């Protein structure tokens, strides 16, 4: 049977390559109906980190390509928390990937994929710029970004319509927003994507990006999550993608995330990559 290609983009740095390999390993094991092609967009990625990714891809027969961004138009964009300007690299995907690639699935490196993503990847985006999972936001976020009730999405899992990005010259729109509205940016490239995609994105089912907020049961509220207790429990117990967002990372000592064991199920040490048989 001929398997179609699933194009995946990641933007790792040295701190997240190991976790990115765990994510790709979970994607590989749970998506056998596609041939994976991994696009690695980076600015500063050591030889050791690139080697680990290459070994992983070679070991499992995954096609891949590296794209080094030496000078980014987003180098002067606002920063916050512990992030560097490389966080904006995914805004350049339409420019760096081959023009014949019209759709790509962007995935953060702190995810674990637990199910087949065929229905997600093969969905028709129409003229929309992307598909993502909506987050519950406050009125402040809506007003800060002038979203006018159109919703705000988490950018950890994005099905991107690169054809539309190129046709609408979204990269220019990103730069214009950063230049003119820098004071409104709090969550960096996620804010940029939300502002520039407002009214042109599709809401995905929440099980495609279940962040750590859903696992904080002490804060469960039907009004906040807009889910019944039963639907909430089904979502957290049987997600397609677990997103270890925020500070609840399985690899950090003392993590109490109830799904942390799925990370270790797919984690691959460098020794395993080198010596374990396929």
- Note whether 23 and 109 are within 8 A (CB): yes
Compute the distance between CA of residue 250 and CA of residue 247 in angstroms, rounded to an integer: 9
Backbone CA torsion sign across 108, 113, 117, 123: negative
Query: 111 — phi, psi (to 5°)?
Result: -115, 160
For 82-92, how does the pLDDT look when each residue is reduced to its tens digit (9 = 90+)? 666 678 899 99
Per residue in 20-48, is it b (16+ CB within 10 Å) or e — as a string? bbbbbbbbbebbeebebbbbbbbbebeee
Compute the distance between CA of residue 216 and CA of residue 258 in angstroms, rounded to an integer: 9
Section 175-188 average pLDDT:
88
For 225-262, how does the pLDDT look when each residue is reduced to its tens digit (9 = 90+)? 888 889 988 999 999 999 999 888 999 999 999 999 99
pLDDT at 277: 55
**Domain ranges (residues) in the chain:** 4-209
Query: 10 — phi, psi (to 5°)?
Result: -130, 155
Compute the distance between CA of residue 246 and CA of residue 249 in angstroms, rounded to an integer: 8
Compute the distance between CA of residue 155 and CA of residue 189 in angstroms, rounded to an integer: 8
pLDDT at 108: 96
Give the CATH architecture of domain 4-209: Alpha-Beta Complex (3.90)
pLDDT at 53: 96
Nearest residue to 36 (alpha-carbon basis) of 19, 53, 24: 24
Helix axes 188-197, 170-181, angle to 10 degrees: 120
Q: Which residue shows structure tokens 């049987």?
A: 238
Q: Which of 37-41, 55-59, 220-224, 264-268 has the lowest mean pLDDT?
A: 220-224
Compute the distance between CA of residue 20 and CA of residue 27 in angstroms, rounded to an integer: 10
The chain-wide mean pLDDT, for the chain, equals 90
Beta strands in the chain (DSSP E): 4-10, 34-42, 63-68, 103-107, 111-113, 130-135, 152-161, 201-203, 241-243
pLDDT at 217: 64
- Note whether 28 and 60 are within 8 A (CB): yes
Section 32-57 average pLDDT:
95
pLDDT at 80: 73
């Amino acid at each position: 049977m001929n398997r179609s290609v699933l194009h995946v983009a990641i933007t790792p740095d040295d701190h997240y390559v190991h976790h990115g390999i765990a994510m790709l390993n979970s994607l590989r094991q749970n998506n056998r109906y596609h041939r994976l092609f991994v696009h690695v967009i980076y600015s500063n990625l050591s030889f050791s980190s690139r080697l680990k990714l290459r070994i992983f891809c070679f070991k499992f027969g995954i096609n891949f390509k590296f794209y080094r961004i030496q000078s980014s138009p987003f180098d002067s964009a606002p920063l916050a928390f512990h992030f560097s300007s490389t966080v904006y690299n995914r805004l350049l995907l339409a420019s760096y990937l081959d023009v014949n690639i019209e759709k790509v699935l962007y995935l953060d490196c702190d995810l674990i994929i637990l199910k087949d993503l065929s229905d997600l990847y093969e969905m028709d985006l129409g003229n929309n710029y992307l598909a993502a999972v909506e987050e519950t936001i406050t009125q402040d976020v809506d007003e800060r970004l002038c979203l006018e009730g159109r919703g705000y999405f988490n950018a950890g899992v994005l099905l991107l319509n690169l054809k539309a990005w190129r046709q609408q010259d979204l990269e220019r729109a990103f730069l214009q927003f950063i230049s003119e509205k820098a004071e409104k940016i709090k969550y960096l490239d996620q804010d940029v994507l939300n502002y520039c995609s407002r009214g042109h994105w599709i809401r995905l089912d929440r099980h495609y990006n279940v962040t750590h907020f859903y696992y904080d049961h002490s804060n469960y509220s039907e009004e906040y999550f807009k889910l019944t207790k039963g639907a909430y429990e089904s979502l957290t117990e049987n997600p397609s993608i677990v997103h270890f967002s925020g500070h609840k990372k399985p690899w950090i000592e003392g993590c109490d995330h109830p799904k942390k064991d799925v990370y270790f199920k797919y984690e691959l040490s460098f020794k395993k990559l080198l010596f374990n048989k396929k």
